[in-house]
Amino acid sequence: MTIRRAEDAVRELLSESDIIIGGHRPWDIRVLNPGFYERALEGGSLEVGESYVDGWWECDRLDQLFHRALLADMHVTLAKSVRGRLEAIRLRLTHHAERPAPPPPRTHDLLGNDLFRAMLGARMAYSCAYWSDTATLDEAQDAQFELVCRKLELKPGMTILEHGCGWGAFAKYAAERHGAGVLGVADSPQQAELAREMCRGLPVEIVVQDFREVQGRFDRVVSLGVLERIGAEGYRAYMEHAARALKNDGIALLHTAGRNVTEMRVDPWVARHFRADAAPPSLRQISAALEGLFVMEDCHNLGPQFDPTLLAWHVNLERSWPSLSARYGERLRRVMKYYLLSSAGSFRSRRTQVFQIVMTKTGRRQPRCRLR
């Protein structure tokens, strides 16, 4: 395909979303390398993202661009690209092979606590905030934690198991504000080290281990942003462990990014840089995973709240980048910008949701979980 024909095809595709190449509106794009056109058509969403990271095109407001593109189902067209399909197949084969070759480190695995401190703010909460009568990110994260604690009917002295506790943000809040004792399961030693520092002096223990290996029974079981990271094959195992860990009169709360439809495919660009083997679950998948183990008491969709959360993270990161640039470089800045703002556009378009689900065991009285 000639460059001219490729350009015409891309222009026509973008026009369906009212996006103009060389336009002057915030969501219009500026192509800096004419090779972008063929790269986008052949490589789909993977190469659209990679070409942005390489500096081949620019856009003043990526969040507005993706909001428009997703409303017009442009992601469906790009998913049909030859290279995009091959990349998706390669990722599935790598994930299911008995002895897969070690994958290259993903961008997410290269990020240090310094970058997350800069991006997430004082609370160090890596989950959707709750922008209810709040003016700042820290206030919105506190509002989100308070909403969770109220849904859990948390009381002083109760014990909580938190799967995927990150840097201890919720554990710290629950211990300080509600007098709970928390066992937090971190994903990495790097997270655990900072979580222990943040929770020093509180009744909080942080461990690094597979969640299925955690022993004991707890008054409450919580996960904030875990299910979308463990893959569909792990949903039932997660629910089974949560059921074993929860006392019969306890309450469990699951907070996860989710999709409107059941789909195993992970966007190839996101898979390359962030999550290679996990896609946000649909309600159908969640319901199947908890069947026979829990009663679903409430499902609260917080999806629209993630848009301003992601925008706030991006503002924080851009403001702090001068102190981070020497370690991480311009390419990683563009990766993070593309990821945060394309995700904001996805939540704004309502293609992606955040489900906050309250669960109990059969026979327990219904908790007062309809709180706003």
Give the tens place of pLDDT for each residue, 177-196: 999 999 999 989 999 999 99
What pLDDT, on a 0 to 100 scale, did the predictor assign at position 99?
Answer: 37
Give Cα separations from 204 to 154, 155, 200, 247 (angstroms): 15, 15, 8, 19
Is 79 contained in some domain?
yes
Q: Does one domain contain both 121 and 239? A: yes
> Domain of 31?
3-96
Q: Does one domain contain both 155 and 89? A: no
What pLDDT, on a 0 to 100 scale, did the predictor assign at position 314?
Answer: 98
Q: Does one domain contain both 340 and 200? A: yes
Q: Which two tokens stand for residue 347?
A: 């939540």
Task: Tell me the pLDDT tens digit for each residue of 141-165.
Answer: 999 999 999 999 999 999 999 999 9
Domain boundary among 72, 96, 120: 96
Is 192 contained in some domain?
yes
Is 223 contained in some domain?
yes
Query: Mapped to the 3 state alphabet, what secondary structure does the chain carry?
Result: CCHHHHHHHHHHHHHCCCCCECCCCCCCEEECCCCHHHHHHHHHHHHHHHHHHCCCEEECCHHHHHHHHHHCCHHHHHHCCHHHHHHHHHHHHHHHCCCCCCCCCCHHHHCCHHHHHHHHCCCCCCCCCCCCCCCCHHHHHHHHHHHHHHHCCCCCCCEEEEECCCCCHHHHHHHHHHCCEEEEEECCHHHHHHHHHHCCCCCEEEEECCHHHCCCCEEEEEEECCHHHHCHHHHHHHHHHHHHHEEEEEEEEEEEEEECCCCCCCCHHHHHHCCCCCCCCEHHHHHHHHCCCCEEEEEEECHHHHHHHHHHHHHHHHHHHHHHHHHHHHHHHHHHHHHHHHHHHHHHCCCEEEEEEEEECCCCCCCCCCCC
Residues 6 or more apart in contact with residue 228 via CB below 8 angstroms: 256, 257, 258, 275, 278, 279, 280, 281
Residue 106 CA to residue 278 CA, distance in Å, equals 14
Domain boundary among 96, 118, 140: 96
Is 366 contained in some domain?
no
Residue with tokens 């929770």: 199
What are the backbone angles phi and psi of residue 335, rounded to the nearest 5°? -60, -50
Q: Does one domain contain both 77 and 113? A: no
Is 344 contained in some domain?
yes
**Burial class of residue 97, CB neighbours in 10 A (0-12, 13-18, 19+):** exposed
Residue 113 CA to residue 168 CA, distance in Å, equals 13
Q: Which two tokens stand for residue 194?
A: 């900072």
Q: Does one domain contain both 53 and 189? A: no
Residue 49 CA to residue 267 CA, distance in Å, equals 10
Is 365 contained in some domain?
no
Q: Does one domain contain both 122 and 57? A: no
Amino acid identity, residue 331?
R
Residues 6 or more apart in contact with residue 215 via CB below 8 angstroms: none
Q: Does one domain contain both 36 and 138? A: no
Residue 48 CA to residue 78 CA, distance in Å, equals 9
Q: Does one domain contain both 131 and 209? A: yes
What pLDDT, on a 0 to 100 scale, did the predictor assign at position 83?
Answer: 46
What pLDDT, on a 0 to 100 scale, did the predictor assign at position 147?
Answer: 96
Buried b / exposed e over 345-356, threshold 16 CB at 10 Å, is bbbbbebbbbbb
Task: Count the domains in the chain.
Answer: 2
Is 325 contained in some domain?
yes
Considering only the C-alpha atoms of the chain, give the largest distance between any 2 of them, rounded to a whole number of Å.
69
Q: Does one domain contain both 135 and 264? A: yes
Q: Does one domain contain both 172 and 131? A: yes
- Give pTM, 2 decimals: 0.91
Low-confidence ranges of the chain (pLDDT < 50): 81-103
CATH number, domain of 188, equals 3.40.50.150
Is 296 contained in some domain?
yes
Q: Does one domain contain both 82 and 122? A: no
Residue 220 CA to residue 237 CA, distance in Å, equals 18
